[in-house]
Amino acid sequence: MSEALGFVGVGKMGGPMGTRLIESGHRLTVYDIREEAMAPLTARGAGRANSSREVADAADIVFFSLPEPKDVQGEAIGDEGVIAGARAKILVELSTTGPRVIGIVAEALARKGITVVDAPVSGGVAGASKGTLAVMASGADEAMQRVAPLLKIFGKLFIVGEKPGQGQVMKLANNLLSATSLAVTAEAMVMGVKAGLDPKIMIDVINSGTGRNSASETKFPIAILPRRFAYGFATGLMEKDVSLCLDEANALHVPMFIGPAVRSIWQLAKQELGAESDYTEIIRCLERRAGVEVGSAE
């Protein structure tokens, strides 16, 4: 009989990942502070819990997909967290917390005999739905062997280390690059349009040349040029990830010169557009100042 699974945080990312577990034949118990987030999964047969503690009472392995480090810490080791549950022995952390928070959580849970597998993911909502995420996992070998087949349901598994926190560092490095490519491509595109270039032709040229990146290949054609701005990741979360990356670089005494500039534009976007705005809307900050619009809804 397969192990019982639990999932805390079944929103934009957690919902599709939880659905994939159910579709793969696994028993699942879910908890989210929003009833509407749980509804699609309970309709598919998932059990409904009222707290992370209840999830940990019902499941052998609990997955987390939560927006902020403080949420992860509270739901893991708070009074009604996984630490208070009676059954769970492994917590798989899929969120982006930074290595220090995951270290605090792992140390506290270890005292209760619960092992943490640090496994942040990249690939967005589309990747979560299709099972094409990049999963960057670190943790003890025995626990990793138990959860590896489950993580492969979400996408391609990369085991990057043997201790919690190493997966977080890998994710922060990835997201710094992602944040940089989107911001700098937006700058280049606004400049080109201001000079009279066609933005669609610009993207075609960039994607055929050395400037090609994840923003030019996917975010501009899908979300920015058609003015949809619905790629599925929040501006506030990207600003958080960049800040966590710079915090870690500072803690490691690693100099960063480009990173602070990237953080500054994401802080501006969060301030002007709101934390909940889609992160592809960052280009609006530049468009306003340049007096142009990149793409059209036609």
pLDDT in tens, 180-196: 999 999 999 999 999 99
Q: Dig out the tokens for 66 from the structure.
A: 């939560």
Q: Which residues contact 200 (CB under 8 A, 6 or more apart)?
A: 225, 295
| Same domain as 82, residue 24 | yes
Encode pLDDT of 20-69 as tens digits.
Answer: 999 999 999 999 999 999 999 999 999 999 999 999 999 999 999 999 99
Place 283 in a pLDDT band, splitting at 50, 70 and 90.
very high
| Same domain as 186, residue 159 | no
Determine the Cα–Cα distance for residues 267 and 279; give it in Å rounded to an integer.
Answer: 12
Q: Contacts for 37-42 with beta carbons within 8 Å, 24 or more apart?
A: 37/10, 37/11, 38/10, 40/15, 41/7, 41/10, 41/15
> Is residue 297, in this structure, part of any structural domain at all?
no
Query: Is residue 147 pLDDT above 90, yes or no?
Result: yes
Place 298 in a pLDDT band, splitting at 50, 70 and 90.
low
Q: Which of 171, 219, 240, 270 is catalytic?
A: 171
Q: Which residues contact 41 (CB under 8 A, 6 or more apart)?
A: 7, 10, 15, 18, 19, 22, 28, 30
Distances (CA, A) of 250 to 41, 231, 284: 41, 31, 30
> Is residue 74, in this structure, part of any structural domain at all?
yes
* pLDDT value at residue 191: 98
| Same domain as 244, residue 155 | no
- Residues 154, 16: contact at Cβ < 8 Å? no
Place 295 in a pLDDT band, splitting at 50, 70 and 90.
confident
What is the share, in percent, of the chain residues with pLDDT greater than 70?
99
| Same domain as 212, residue 75 | no
> Is residue 150, in this structure, part of any structural domain at all?
yes
Average pLDDT taken over every residue of the chain: 96
> Is residue 119, in this structure, part of any structural domain at all?
yes
Residue ending a domain, among 99, 131, 163, is 163
Residue ending a domain, among 140, 163, 186, is 163
- Residues 241, 172: contact at Cβ < 8 Å? yes
| Same domain as 135, residue 261 | no
**CATH number (domain holding residue 241):** 1.10.1040.10
pLDDT mean over 241-250: 97
* pLDDT value at residue 15: 97
| Same domain as 154, residue 173 | no
Between the two ends of the chain, the Cα-to-Cα distance in Å is 53
Determine the Cα–Cα distance for residues 53 and 6; give it in Å rounded to an integer.
Answer: 10
163 is catalytic: no
Query: Is residue 1 pLDDT above 80, yes or no?
Result: no
**CATH number (domain holding residue 48):** 3.40.50.720
> Is residue 295, in this structure, part of any structural domain at all?
no
Residues forming a β-bridge with 156: 134
> Is residue 296, in this structure, part of any structural domain at all?
no
Q: Dig out the tokens for 4 from the structure.
A: 């019982």
Task: Indicate the angle between helix axes 235-251 and 258-273, nearest 10 degrees.
Answer: 150
| Same domain as 199, residue 87 | no
Q: How many domains does the chain have?
A: 2
What residues make up the domain containing 256?
A: 169-290
> What sections of 209-281 are H helices per DSSP?
214, 235-251, 258-273
| Same domain as 177, residue 95 | no
| Same domain as 262, residue 248 | yes
- Residues 86, 80: contact at Cβ < 8 Å? no
| Same domain as 50, residue 71 | yes
> Is residue 193, in this structure, part of any structural domain at all?
yes
| Same domain as 104, residue 173 | no
pLDDT mean over 239-258: 97
* pLDDT value at residue 296: 73
| Same domain as 174, residue 154 | no
Per DSSP bridges, beta strands 121-122 and 61-64 are unpaired
Query: Is residue 297 pLDDT above 80, yes or no?
Result: no
* pLDDT value at residue 2: 74
Nearest to 14 by CA among 71, 83, 78, 84: 71
> Is residue 248, in this structure, part of any structural domain at all?
yes
Residue ending a domain, among 122, 148, 163, is 163
